[in-house]
């Protein structure tokens, strides 16, 4: 039977990826932290059933399921207002910067300069959750098509077509946002 030390050794290195996915699904720092905490607790309890191999897709599947369960509960409890909503901040805009626990640059840091980060965040927030999650898993977390398919519970071919449509939508949204910013700058 696996020990808690085995879980720590296998699962904790993927904490940043879990938070990143949870953040992009919930679009809120505090909610993402809650989702990750709940997901890691569930993963810890189910660790004995893990059959080995790469733990990252298994963990991200749990994070994704917990995030969607959390979002559906939140949708039913429409009387609950987050602090960000009460202060008038729109989801996905000017949210907290993703700061990995390690000092190594993340894939996001390599792909996006500081000046473009806010623009990309706003564009990603405008995508559907299905498109947003496939972009985050592939482009920010570097998962293979097969690992994404495992996390999402869909065929790898569907991952490829969804990713293609997501990239096209992201390009369109970014183009629109950039044009809007250029008009505002004039």
Question: How many residues are recorded in the chain?
Answer: 186
Q: Number of structural domains, the chain? A: 2
pLDDT tens digit string along 126-144?
Answer: 999 999 999 999 998 999 9
pLDDT higher than threshold 80 for residue 53: yes
HSE, side-chain direction, 13 A CA sphere, residue 180 = 9
Q: Does the model's pTM come out above 0.75?
A: no
Mapped to the 3 state alphabet, what secondary structure does 49-100 carry?
HCCCCCHHHHHHHHHHHHHHHHHHHHHHCCCCCCHHHHCCCCCCCCCCCCCC
Q: Give the residue from 66, 88, 110 where a domain finishes.
A: 88
CATH of the domain at 158: 1.10.10.10
Residues 47 and 24 in one domain: yes
Residues 40 and 18 in one domain: yes
Q: Classify residue 58: in a domain, yes or no.
A: yes
Sequence-ordered list of residues with C-beta below 8 angstroms from that of 15, at least 6 positions apart, any chain: 36, 40, 101
Residues 67 and 19 in one domain: yes
pLDDT tens digit string along 18-39?
Answer: 999 999 999 899 999 999 999 9
Q: Could you give the angle at which helices 4-11 and 55-76 cross, rounded to 10 degrees?
A: 90
Domain range spanning residue 70? 1-88
Over range 147-176, report the average pLDDT: 95
CATH of the domain at 34: 1.10.1740.10
Q: For 26, which DSSP code?
A: H
């Amino acid at each position: 039977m696996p020990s808690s030390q085995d879980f720590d050794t296998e699962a904790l290195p993927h904490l940043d990826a879990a938070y990143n996915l949870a953040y992009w699904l919930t679009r809120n720092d505090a909610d993402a932290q809650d989702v990750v905490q709940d997901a890691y607790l569930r993963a810890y309890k189910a660790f004995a059933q893990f059959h080995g191999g790469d733990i990252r897709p298994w963990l991200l599947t749990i994070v994704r399921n917990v995030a969607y369960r959390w979002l559906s509960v939140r949708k039913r409890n429409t009387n609950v207002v987050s602090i960000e909503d009460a202060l008038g901040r729109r989801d996905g805009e000017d949210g907290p910067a993703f700061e990995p626990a390690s000092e190594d640059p993340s894939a996001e840091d390599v792909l996006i300069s500081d000046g473009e980060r806010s623009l990309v965040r706003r564009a990603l927030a405008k995508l559907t959750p299905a498109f947003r999650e496939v972009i985050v898993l592939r482009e920010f977390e570097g998962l293979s098509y097969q690992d994404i398919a495992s996390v999402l519970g869909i065929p790898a071919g569907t991952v490829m077509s969804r990713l293609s449509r997501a990239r096209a939508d992201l390009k369109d949204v970014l183009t629109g946002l950039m044009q809007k910013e250029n008009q505002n700058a004039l």
